[in-house]
Chains A and B, each alone.
Chain A
Amino acid sequence: MFNFTLSNPVHACIAGIFGVLILASAIVFCMHKGDKEGKHKELTARVKSWWFMIAIFSTAMLTTPMVSIYFFAFLSFLAFKEYISVIPLRRADRRLLFWAYLTIPVQYFFVADNWYGMFIVFIPVWVFFLMPFRLILAQQMEGFLSSVATISWGLMITVFAVSHAAMLMQFPALAESPAGGAGLVLFLMVLNQGNDVAQYVWGKFLGKHKILPLVSPKKTWEGFLGGMVTTALIAVVLAPFLTPFNMGFALLAGVGIAAAGFIGDVTFSALKRDIGIKDTGALIPGHGGILDRIDSLSLTAPLFFHFVRYFYY
């Protein structure tokens, strides 16, 4: 099952990620050593959590494509659960939420089956129509609209959007990109998560001019643009190994992932402001909840998927 070889670009890239992680751990360890007040405690927790997350993700990527699809399905489950746990709902919505959970196995079945037509209409069309009907059966109309709207939005973001990352696995290998779907998933995840880290680091060191101070006071133009340049550079470096993109498309993909990641990120900041919470959970020490980690993925995954599908498949 684990046939690890560096001549496989996906395996080489995962080895590279671990290299970066070891480097980051060394830097944080040195910062931690010279620091007596423990102000880097959160950073240490963050890096430690990265080890866990990357270990789990790598295992999913290195076994079989099916395991990667299960991985994203489980990610959707955790994200949706976190979402409905922090938003205001009614007792009358309980039964509907049970059905809403069942959309996860169905949606990922369409992914596993590579049934593109159903994959793309199931949640936005069928669930969107049938869900309000199930809610009507509970016969409690007060708050009906807000329940339908919040649950639909949650399914779009946590199930429909995230499943696009899994659907990338179904793109076959091409002559110019033998890494196929797995390469695309890895490319997306590295750029998306890398962009978050790069934005954070650039913002921390150079951040001055706030972009949306009322939504997310820590987001700055310096962080955003620094992140974008860094992400575009990583895209250009990785694209020849993992994707069929030429240099122009690699740049475009990098810039697009950075921009969409930013929008996804601030969308969730706005949601958290609205309901008055800082993090959506505490599952990942130093990061918050699953949603705090994959907020940017919610927009980049569909965008990147359709970009690839339109131009290359």
Chain B
Amino acid sequence: MALARQIFYVFLIKPLLVLMLGLNVRHMDRLPERGPHVIAANHNSHLDAMVLVSLFRWSDIPKIKLAAAKDYFCRNAFMTWFSLNILGIIPIERHGGADNPLAPVFQALDKGHIVVIFPEGSRGEPEQRQPLKYGVAKLLEAMPEIGLTPVFMHGLGKSLPRGEALLVPFVCEINIGEMLRWAGDRKRLITKLDESFSSLDQEIAPKPWN
């Protein structure tokens, strides 16, 4: 199934994204090469996750996992199969249920995967920053040896915002930040991550979207 995933991303998704939208990546050298590692990205669109996985090389794609809401991505049998095997998600229980909703993420990191997390939670209003949630800080507190790479994206919320089915192409700007480490307490890590997003955002200098 890893091969199906590689083919899906390298021969279908990536060419589509490059031709339709155009990916403008800054600081590609900061992208982590091996796991375990956590990538924290801002969330504007369904395309976010696809773009992030497409940044990686063919041989690295099987290592990338996306933390995603179980109730949404596993809502029927086909979606469950597709999300788990092709998209490569780690299903997270959003509304209580499991004792530790992050347990599957820990397992993936133990296996040496690179896990993508959207600390803003849901996609929210397009191209507007949301307050960051603490899940990512809990991960690093439990596994302080793991690095955290912030990635800020702009444009996907214009191309395909929440609640729209019509894709309108805009160039996608991707800015990869410097790796962060566990900072001793949760609040400080989240503040650092937030500051990193802000400076990556400024570097892109996006045009307003009134």
If A88-B208, A89-B209, A101-B169 touch, does A78 touch B126 (CB 8 Å cutoff)? Answer: no
User: What class of interface size applies to chain B in its complex with A?
Assistant: 10 to 19
Residues in chain A near residue B171, CB distance under 8 A: 81-82, 85, 281
Q: Are A91 and B126 in contact (CB under 8 A)?
A: yes
If A84-B170, A95-B166 touch, does A89 touch B207 (CB 8 Å cutoff)? Answer: yes
Proximity string of chain A (93-116) to chain B, C-beta cutoff 8 Å, 1 when within and 0 when not: 011011001000000000000000
Chain B, Cβ-Cβ closest to A87: B207
10 closest cross-chain pairs (CB), A and B: A85-B171, A88-B207, A90-B210, A85-B170, A282-B24, A98-B168, A81-B169, A97-B168, A88-B208, A94-B168
Residues in chain A near residue B26, CB distance under 8 A: 282
A213 within 8 A of B: no
Proximity string of chain B (128-170) to chain A, C-beta cutoff 8 Å, 1 when within and 0 when not: 0000000000000000000000000001001001001010111
A275 within 8 A of B: yes
Instruction: Give min CB distance, A147 to chain B, whole Å.
Output: 10
B205 within 8 A of A: yes
Find residues 61-87 in chain B having any chain A CB closer than 8 Å to their own CB.
none
Please, how many angstroms separate the alpha-carbon atoms of A276 and B164 in the complex? 30
Please, how many angstroms separate the alpha-carbon atoms of A281 and B26 in the complex? 12
Residues in chain A near residue B170, CB distance under 8 A: 81, 84-85
Instruction: Give min CB distance, B174 to chain A, whole Å.
Output: 11
A contacts, CB < 8 Å to B: 78, 81-82, 84-91, 94-95, 97-98, 101, 142-143, 275-277, 281-283
Residues in chain A near residue B164, CB distance under 8 A: 94
5 more contacts with CB within 8 A, not counting A85-B158, A88-B208, A90-B210, are: A85-B170, A91-B209, A94-B166, A97-B168, A281-B171
Q: Are B155 and A91 in contact (CB under 8 A)?
A: no
Proximity string of chain B (193-210) to chain A, C-beta cutoff 8 Å, 1 when within and 0 when not: 000000000000101111
Interface of A is mostly: helix
Please, how many angstroms separate the alpha-carbon atoms of A276 and B207 in the complex? 10
Residues in chain A near residue B207, CB distance under 8 A: 85-89, 275
Q: Are B22 and A78 in contact (CB under 8 A)?
A: yes
Please, how many angstroms separate the alpha-carbon atoms of A282 and B23 in the complex? 9
Q: Which of A84, A86, A94, A277 has its CB near the most chain B CB atoms (within 10 A)?
A: A94
Can you list 8 A-B pairs, Cβ within 8 angstroms, ordered by A?
A: A81-B171, A85-B171, A88-B208, A91-B209, A97-B168, A98-B168, A276-B205, A282-B26
Residues in chain B near residue A85, CB distance under 8 A: 155, 158, 170-171, 207
Q: Are B168 and A281 in contact (CB under 8 A)?
A: no
Chain B, Cβ-Cβ closest to A275: B207
Please, how many angstroms separate the alpha-carbon atoms of A143 and B168 in the complex? 20
Please, how many angstroms separate the alpha-carbon atoms of A91 and B170 in the complex? 12
Residues in chain B near residue A90, CB distance under 8 A: 209-210
